[in-house]
Amino acid sequence: MKISYFPGCTLKTMAKNFEDSALASLSSLDIEMKEFKRWNCCGTVYSLTSDDLIHQVAPIRNLIRVKEEKDTRVVTLCSMCYNTLKRANKLVKEDSEKLDKLNNLMDREDVKYNGEVEVLHLLEILKNEVGFSQIAKKIKIPLKGLKVAPYYGCLLLRPPEVGIDDPERPTILKDFLGSVGAEAIDYPYETECCASYHTVVNVDLVVERAYDILNSAINRGAEAIVLSCPLCDFNLDNRQKEIKEKFSDFKGIPIFYFTQLLALSLGLDEKVCRFELNFVDPRPLLRSKHLIGEV
C-alpha cells in the first residue's frame, strides 16, 4: 500500500522519534508513506468562528497539494494536524459557498479543491486496513509484561464528528497495545485535556493537569504512557521536570509514541525508535523487561 503522508512541523523537529519510528514500522508492514511536496503548517488549531475563512487556507492548501499528486487519501500522525485537516475538509465538503470563497481566495493555485481528499490518522490505517490481528501475527518481540496506559487527549476523539473512536469509551489504543503484546491499563484520565498550548505562557496549569493524569495512571499500575500527539507528549514528558519541582512525591513515568512501541515489537533496530529524544528515558524500563539489550 502506498499513501500520501502529511508530517506537519513538529514531526520534523522535536518529534523525530515519532516520525522515524513510524516510517520504519510502516515500511516493514509494506506501507509506503509518500511525503507530498510543498506541504505547509496546517494551522494547528481549527478555526472556530464562522466567518474566519482565511485560517482554512493553510489546511486546504495541503489537500490541494495531495490532489495535485493525484492522490485521494492523506495520512497524518500528529493528532492536532489530523483534527485541523479533517475539520477543514469537512467544512468545505458541507458548505459549497465557503468552498467557492476559499477557492477564490487561493486564486494563484492551479488546481481547485472540491473536497476530493480523505484525511486519515495512522491509527485508523493500522486498525482498519492492516488490522490489529495482522499486526499481532507480525510481532517478533511481544511487549509481554509491559503495563501501558493509553492517553488519547482531545483531538483524536473530539469533536465526535471527526473523532477516530468513541469519544467517551475509546478502545483503539488499548486494542493496539493488545496487538503488540502489551498490557493496557484503565484509568479515568485517558481522554482528559493536557492543557495543550497553555504550556507556552501558563506552565503551572500544565503541570497541575499533567500531574493528575500521570499520577492516576501510575496509581493504577502503569509503567508507561502511550500517545499520538507531540504537544501532549511535550506536556506529559518534558514537563515532568517541572512536575517534580512542584510535587515531591511524583515518581516519573516514561512516555512513548505508539509508533515506538510498534517498531520495537516488530523487532526493528532500536535506533529507529530514537529513544534518546524521549525526555524521560524509557530504556531502563525496557531493559528491565528484557525488551531491549543491555548497554
Partner 1 sequence: MRTEISIKNTKSKFLDKVEELSGENIYACYQCGKCSAGCPSISEMDISPNEIIRLVQLGEEKEVLNSKAIWICASCFTCVTRCPKGVDLAKIMESLRQITLRKNVDYVNPLSISKEVLSQVPQIALVSSLRKFSS
Establish if 8 lies at the interface with partner 1 (CB under 8 A): yes
- Residue whose CB is less far from partner 1, 98 or 220: 98
Q: What is the contact mask toward partner 1 in residues 206 to 245, using x (rule: CB under 8 A)?
A: ---x--------------------xx--x---x-------
Contact positions with partner 1 (CB under 8 A) in 116-155: 154
Establish if 7 lies at the interface with partner 1 (CB under 8 A): no
Determine the Cα–Cα distance for residues 101 and 9; give it in Å rounded to an integer.
27
Which residue, 13, 71, 73, 17, is CA-closest to 41? 13
Establish if 283 lies at the interface with partner 1 (CB under 8 A): no
Binding-site size, partner 1 (CB under 8 A): 41
Q: Where are the alpha helices (DSSP H) in the chain?
A: 16-28, 57-68, 79-94, 96-105, 122-124, 132-138, 172-179, 203-219, 230-233, 240-246, 258-265, 283-288
Contact positions with partner 1 (CB under 8 A) in 153-172: 154, 158-160, 167-168
Determine the Cα–Cα distance for residues 35 and 40; give it in Å rounded to an integer.
12
40, 193, 247, 250: which one binds partner 1 (CB under 8 A): 193
CA distance to 264, 266, 290, per residue, from 26 (Å): 12, 10, 24
Count the Cβ atoms, other than its own, within 10 Å of residue 240.
Answer: 22
Determine the Cα–Cα distance for residues 158 and 150; give it in Å rounded to an integer.
16
Establish if 10 lies at the interface with partner 1 (CB under 8 A): yes
Establish if 201 lies at the interface with partner 1 (CB under 8 A): yes
Site residues, partner 1 (CB under 8 A) = 8-10, 13-15, 41, 43-45, 47-52, 55, 78, 80, 154, 158-160, 167-168, 191-193, 195-201, 205, 209, 230-231, 234, 238
